[in-house]
Structure 1
Amino acid sequence: MTMIKNINCAYVPVASPEKAAEWYGRVLGMKLRSPVEPGRGAIMVMDEGQWLFLLPSPDMTPLTFSTTGWADDGAPFEMFPICFTTTRIQPLYASLKESGAWVEADIRDEGSCGLQLMFKDPDGNKFQVFQEPEA
């Protein structure tokens, strides 16, 4: 039996917690837990209760990394450290496009791995979101 049950929360660097909280709420539909305290960051709450902390980052290094373990040919790939789940990938895609965020050209159907989409927030943090395949 594993000793770790799940991920309770994640921490994301942002240039401005106030601006990021507005974007995460408007575009991704997350809820702000409490008013943003200057210099302290914001806590966004997802549908199932997990928290996403948006923390001020003076050097603002986006949450991504390069890997050769993702592409079939071993080519370098800018990886996303967090993958979200959704049951509404089409409306989410439309919201991301409307916001002007970097988003893949289209939603990918990965068969048994469901529908998938990569996107970046305004600070360049890269994420993936997937929707489980219908049974």
Structure 2
Amino acid sequence: MSRKALLKRIECAYLPVKDVAASAAWYERVLGLKLRSPIDPGRGAIMIMDSGQWLFLLPCWDGHPLHFMTTGWTDDGSPFEMFPICFETDDIHTMYDSLQQSGVWTEETVRDEGGCGLQLDFKDPDGNKFQVWQQPVAAGIPAQ
């Protein structure tokens, strides 16, 4: 018997940051997210993505960024620092340029993964690791 999935989508995500105001400014300036309400340094900030979903930036003074090690992401089983969240974008090349200008760690280039689209791993200033993904390019239309 087939059972309907009880989880519909991820509504929001909670990100650990050391300095809420500095992180909120970075997410606005570099990623174009919008601040939902005034920043409360002790409680955090809410950033709104283009889809309307929320990212909560929560104070975490002991500096434990989001990432973990896995061997399930590489062909040879070697350890890989995994990202727990993959975002979607409509303009990965502009995002790459913005990330590069901000000085954070990014992969050297945007990867074209064919049917899996364009992909890029990056970290925010607190070391939280993410992947960003763009839909595969339509047939006959080259990637930038």
Q: Counterpart in 2 of 1:108?
A: 111
Equivalent position SS for 2:78: coil
- Deviating beyond 3 angstroms after TM superposition, the runs of 4 or more aligned structure 1 residues are none
Alpha-carbon offset, residue 37 of structure 1: 1.1
1:121 pairs with one of 97, 121, 124: 124
Alpha-carbon offset, residue 38 of structure 1: 2.4
1:8 pairs with one of 2, 6, 11: 11
Q: Counterpart in 1 of 2:58?
A: 55
Q: Counterpart in 1 of 2:136?
A: 133
Equivalent position SS for 1:18: helix
Q: Hey, what's the Cα distance between the residues in 1 that align with 2:135 and 2:84?
A: 19
Asked if structure 1 preserves the Cα contact closer than 8 Å seen for 2:41 and 2:59, the reply is no
Q: Hey, what's the Cα distance between the residues in 2 that align with 1:45 and 1:69?
A: 31
Q: Hey, what's the Cα distance between the residues in 1 that align with 2:62 and 2:31?
A: 25
Structure 2's unaligned 5+ residue stretches are 139-144
Alpha-carbon offset, residue 134 of structure 1: 2.5
Structure 1's unaligned 5+ residue stretches are none
* Residue deviations 1:74-126 (CA, integer Å, cap 9, x gap): 00000000000000101000000000010000000000000000000000000
Superposition RMSD on alpha carbons, in Å?
Answer: 0.6
1:23 pairs with one of 23, 26, 33: 26
Q: Hey, what's the Cα distance between the residues in 1 that align with 2:32 and 2:117?
A: 21
Identity of aligned residues (%): 65
Equivalent position SS for 2:107: coil
Q: Hey, what's the Cα distance between the residues in 1 that align with 2:41 and 2:57?
A: 12
